[in-house]
Each structure stands twice: as structure tokens, then as C-alpha cells.
Amino acid sequence: MKITIGLSLSLSGEYAAMGREAETALRIFVADANASAALRIGGERCEFALECHDDASAPSRCADIYRSLCSGSRLARVAAPIADQHRRLFINHGGADDELYAHERPLIVGILSPASDYMRGFVDLLSHLKLWRKRVAIVASKSGFARAVASGLERAAAERFAHRHGVRIRVKWNGVFDSEIAPAQLLPALVRNRIDALASAGSYDHDLRVIRAVGASNIPVLGCVAAGVRRFASDLGELSEGVVGPSQWESSPQDLSEPAPALGPTSAQFVRRMRDTGGIESPDYPAAQIYAAGLLTAAALSSAASLDERELRAAFSDLRTSTMFGDFSIDRVSGRQLGHKMLLVQWQRGRKVIIHPEEHSDPGLHDSLPGWRLLRAGAAMLRLSRRDDSSEK
């Protein structure tokens, strides 16, 4: 029996670099799965075939492809309703927008953590830092994805632990961030509110514009969604140093006692396959998440022993497992991802490092966390802290 995986990927246009990595990873998965001969449905051996089309990073082209097949969040938003209309199971490996799960879509399965979870690690980091009050600014674009990231950050900041440890939202900027106009409006508000942590949420270009505008300021802790992308440091240069951000997955070039996942290879093994087969030395998260989507689909097919869409969706709901991408479980009703946990990364000397907020709870470690930015701002923040303490007596 042959099972065709049909999808749209951005092999050209704005998202081409990540799309081509995802295609390489998916072709490796198909080769691995077919070589194992492990998938059987009703006792019959099954093989995967791949039907991958280039959407050129255009939503209209993406919609046309999925309409044809059925008869990232911007592209996932046009694909999801088409899958609904044709009553097809939609394995969402590329869209993190919370709105995808807000509608009644009984056949959607989320692989990624949703956007509202992206900045929880940023809030945890602030909560564990001592010496300063944590006056936070959020600079978000108007997209649904950015709104979800910002809303999730605000909810995390309002939780008991963060509130008890002084995290407060003081400035909220929403809208287009024009590099010629916005800094003159935003920077005085940051100074007036004595902001010492800023988070940016929007498109990759939005985040770069924001960090370029505020990167030379004395704000000690800067975070943005774009910091999770590999090209961030090369695009920003020295301004990337110390910036933190969320990441769905980070590659591990060596095993480093990495626990074996329940399904498929370890991260190190996957990285080697991408290097040896596709010539990609350091794959980014789209490659990992689409390979994981293949593993999870094969597991659901094996469990359901059926190609019926609703039985497959039920099998996905019952899955409690792990891949090199992380843990997997979904909400039975919405299909929203519950098991996967976001990572928090920081750029240090041109490379991404996974950081654990609780490791930086000691005040003596404050100068080593965000690098030169904290060193430069430390004295100013201590002066502000003392001034606040004296005014409250």
C-alpha cells in the first residue's frame, strides 16, 4: 500500500531557505520510513510517497495547492480551512498562530507549541533575575501571531511567581514599526518608564528593526522571536550579542548523553543525516519539526490501523510520546499542542546557547547572562534600584 504525503512548501520566495531545509528533512524521513518496512495497516506493508509543491511563499499559491491536493502561520492560515472544507486531516507542522485552534477544526493536529507560549521563558528569566525591578516593554506588530505572542507574555507576567518577583508590563507598542518614525516615539517612553526589559514580537524583519532601534540603549534584557532563527546574528552583527528569544528546537551536533526519544533518531543523529544527505551542517527548526511530523503521522497510522481521517485524528489524540523535537500530546478537542516545551536561547559570541532561567537566580551571575549589555547597564540599574528604595521609605 502506498500512502502519499501531499503538502505545500516554500522552495522559493521569502521563506525559501527554511522551505528547502524542510523538504530535505521530509525526503530523509520518507527514505528512512520506507527502508524500515515497519509501517503496516491491517497487516499490509505500507510505503510513503511524497508530493511536494512550491508555493513560492505566496498565500494564494499555497491555497491553490491545497485545493488541488484535497480534491508557516501565514501560509497555515490559508491551508487549514481548505483541509476543513474537504474533511482532510491537517498535520500542522509550520503554523504556531493560536487562531488556528480557536475555530472548530476537528481534524487539525498541532506539532508546534502555540505562539502564546513563545515568551513564557522570557518571563521566567526575568522572574529569576535579582537586583532590578523588571519593567517590561512589549513591541508587537498587528499580526495575529504577534498578538498571540504578546498576550501570552502578558498572561505569564500576571502569574503569581512572576508578579511576586517584580515583573510588570509598563509599555505596550502595537503596530507597524517604521525605522524612520517609530524610534523617536518609542525611545522616550522607554526612558520615561525606566524600562529594563523589552520583548519584540512580529515578523523577522519587524524584530530586526526593533532591535536595531533599541540595541544601543541601556536596556539590559532584550528578547525577540527572531532570535531563535540561525541567521539572526549574521543579520544584526554585534547588536545580537546577549539578545534572548524562544526556540522550538535546537540542533545537537553531538550526543552529549541525550536521552533517546520514543520515536526516531536523536537530535545528533538527525543532524548527521541532514549533513550527510542534504549537505546541511546545522539544520534549523523547520527541518526538525517536519521530520517529527512524519514520525508522529506514522505512529498514528500504525495505531489507528486505518486511513479514515477521524480514526487517525483520534489516534493522534491518544498519542503520548516523544521525538527528537520533544514531547508530543495534543488537546483532544482543538488539536492544539500541549506536550512540547519551548526553549529559551541567547546569542553569545555569535552562537546560540540554550539558557535555563533558574541557573541565573543568584545575583552574582547577573553580569554573565546577557553579556556586554548587562555589564554596561548594571551600574545604571543599581542606581535606579537604590533611588526607588529610598523613595519608598
- Span 224-247, pLDDT tens digits: 999 998 889 999 999 999 999 999
E-state strands within the chain: 2-9, 40-41, 44-45, 47-54, 90-92, 108-110, 134-140, 167-174, 197-201, 221-224, 244-247, 321-323, 326-328, 343-348, 351-354
Asked if pLDDT for residue 97 goes beyond 90, the answer is no
pLDDT at 75: 44
Question: What would the pLDDT profile of 346-368 be if each residue is shown by its tens digit?
Answer: 998 888 889 876 655 544 333 44
pLDDT at 59: 65
Question: What would the pLDDT profile of 147-159 be if each residue is shown by its tens digit?
Answer: 999 999 999 999 9
One domain for residues 34 and 107 = yes
Q: Among 284, 304, 330, identify where a domain stops.
A: 330
pLDDT band at 7 (very low <50, low <70, confident <90, very high): confident
Question: What would the pLDDT profile of 15-65 be if each residue is shown by its tens digit?
Answer: 778 888 888 998 999 999 999 877 888 778 888 888 887 777 676 665 554
One domain for residues 356 and 230 = yes
Q: Domain with 147 in it: what CATH number?
A: 3.40.50.2300
Helices (H), 215-265: 232-236
Give the domain range for residue 167: 117-247+344-391
One domain for residues 236 and 356 = yes
One domain for residues 21 and 64 = yes
Assigned domain for 91 exists: yes
pLDDT at 199: 98
pTM of the model: 0.81
Percent of the chain with pLDDT over 90: 49
pLDDT at 138: 98
| CA–CA gap between residue 120 and residue 178 (Å, rounded) | 27
Give the count of domains, the chain.
Answer: 2
Mean pLDDT across the chain, nearest whole number? 82
One domain for residues 380 and 326 = no
